[in-house]
Amino acid sequence: MSENIIEVSHLHKQFGDNVILDDLSLSVNKGEVVVLIGPSGCGKSTLLRCLNGLEPIQGGTVSLHGEPVEFGKSGLTKIRQKIGMVFQNYDLFTHMTVIDNISLAPLKVQKRSKAEVHDEALALLERVGLKERANSFPAELSGGQKQRVAIVRSLIIHPDIILLDEITAALDPEMVHEVLNVVLDLAKSGTTMMIVTHEMAFAEAAADRIIFIDGGSIVEEGEPHEFFHNPKTERAKRFLKTFTYSD
């Protein structure tokens, strides 16, 4: 039986009177890659922020290995060490070098040794093709390079799951593939991930399961090839027709 990493039960999230997530339930198992797709504003990115305790919720529960993830609660910092997060705008510290950006959390939060962290940071940078940029500053990097650094920064804390929120949205088209190839490599290596993306071909290639969200609710979910080539709901069929990817 697969080990459950994240469990979401009857999640309700709203901003004022605007309901963003409505009675949403899902789970992610160890080693699974779940890709969330849906129209802009349907609640995908908000869901990721709720999973990491970055947003308060108005109903339901989110848990990591059975432990509640709750906005503003004591112990949240410890839980977040098990949840990597990669945002679309990198969020690198501009005054710090690449290797210092990567090393900050394991040194300051996890209290690991400087030598250990330095060696692992270099190894991870080499894995994504950026070892030679270890001492560069973010301003000296392309958007694709910055995003690869952000991915390494999430990996070095040894998270149980990585959440990736539209990580190619801010990139020029020619830089998209270099970032997606890194994520595909992670997927093949068994890294547990939940990914929000509008890159449909990538979603089919990377995912073990597709979850289609609209209006804050799960409309359809299933195996990638089946979803993209034989969607069951009319809403999913209409959505896929907006992409040249779809037949």
CA 142, CA 132: separation in Å to the nearest integer? 14
CA 50, CA 146: separation in Å to the nearest integer? 25
* pLDDT of res. 1: 54
> Pairing state of beta strands 18-29 and 4-15?
antiparallel
* pLDDT of res. 77: 85
CA 3, CA 5: separation in Å to the nearest integer? 6
* pLDDT of res. 54: 92
What DSSP assignment string belongs to 132-181?
Answer: GGTT--GGGS-HHHHHHHHHHHHHTT--SEEEEESTTTTS-HHHHHHHHH
* pLDDT of res. 247: 42
* pLDDT of res. 125: 96
**Helix segments in 13-142, DSSP class H:** 44-51, 76-80, 98-108, 114-127
Residue indicated by tokens 């290639």: 205
Successive 10-residue mean pLDDT values, the chain, 247 residues: 88 94 96 95 93 94 93 86 90 95 94 95 96 96 94 95 92 88 93 94 94 96 95 95 62
* pLDDT of res. 202: 92
* pLDDT of res. 179: 92
The model's pTM:
0.93
Of 57, 4, 27, 32, nearest to 207 (Cα)?
32
Q: How far is CA 158 from CA 61, 85, 104, in A?
A: 24, 12, 14
